[in-house]
């Protein structure tokens, strides 16, 4: 009976850890997720699930193609996930997006290797942040400079 009680305590502890981790990651405004070797989602936090309009159960096991991402972007993201598995190195990139109202914004994302006990990459973890305000601020001086040059200022 003692072994069964320890097993139950361990299971309850893992479940509590899972709930705590999910609640913590879902409190962020950034998107947080993990992938398996085939580029399928193993986890996605609530902000990302809300963007997709899916529950975690409906998102698990899907890749970017399954989630109806534009083909070119889905291919690039899947290729980058594989690159992290192959190299064991962190990768960061940016991509534009169009929101539901037709507005354009920008996301910056990072894919990081998750190493197993023997040092091999077992999973890829990632996060995505909306950097639209920063990109627009960076582009504003360039736009002003181009307008001035066109007017001969």
Q: What is the DSSP letter of 30?
A: S
Give the bridge partners for 41, in sequence order.
35
Going from the C-alpha of 89 to that of each of 7, 120, 124, the distances in angstroms are: 36, 11, 10
Only one residue has tokens 């989602």, namely 41
For the question of whether the overall pTM of this predicted structure is more than 0.75, the answer is yes
The C-alpha atoms of residue 40 and residue 60 are separated, in whole angstroms, by: 7
Q: What is the CATH number of the domain that holds 77?
A: 3.30.450.20
- pLDDT tens digits for range 92-142: 999 999 877 888 899 999 999 999 999 999 999 999 999 998 988 888 766
- pLDDT tens digits for range 19-70: 887 777 788 789 999 999 999 999 999 999 999 999 999 999 999 999 999 9
Q: Which helix (H) or strand (E) holds 66?
A: none
Q: How many domains, the chain?
A: 1
Give the residue numbers spanning the domain of 101.
2-151
């Amino acid at each position: 009976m003692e072994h069964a009680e320890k097993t139950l305590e361990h299971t309850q502890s893992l479940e509590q850890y899972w709930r705590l981790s999910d609640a913590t990651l879902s409190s962020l405004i950034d998107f947080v997720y993990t992938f398996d070797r085939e580029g399928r989602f193993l986890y996605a936090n609530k902000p990302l699930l809300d963007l997709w309009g899916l529950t975690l159960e409906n998102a698990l096991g899907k890749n970017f193609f399954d989630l109806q991402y534009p083909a070119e972007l889905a291919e690039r993201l899947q290729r980058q996930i594989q690159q992290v598995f192959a190299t064991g190195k962190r990768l960061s990139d940016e991509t534009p997006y169009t929101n539901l109202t037709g507005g354009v914004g920008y996301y910056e994302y990072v894919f990081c290797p998750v190493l197993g006990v023997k040092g091999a990459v077992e999973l890829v973890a990632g996060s995505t942040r909306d950097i639209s305000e920063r990109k627009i601020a960076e582009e504003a001086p360039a736009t002003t400079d181009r307008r001035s040059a066109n007017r001969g200022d």
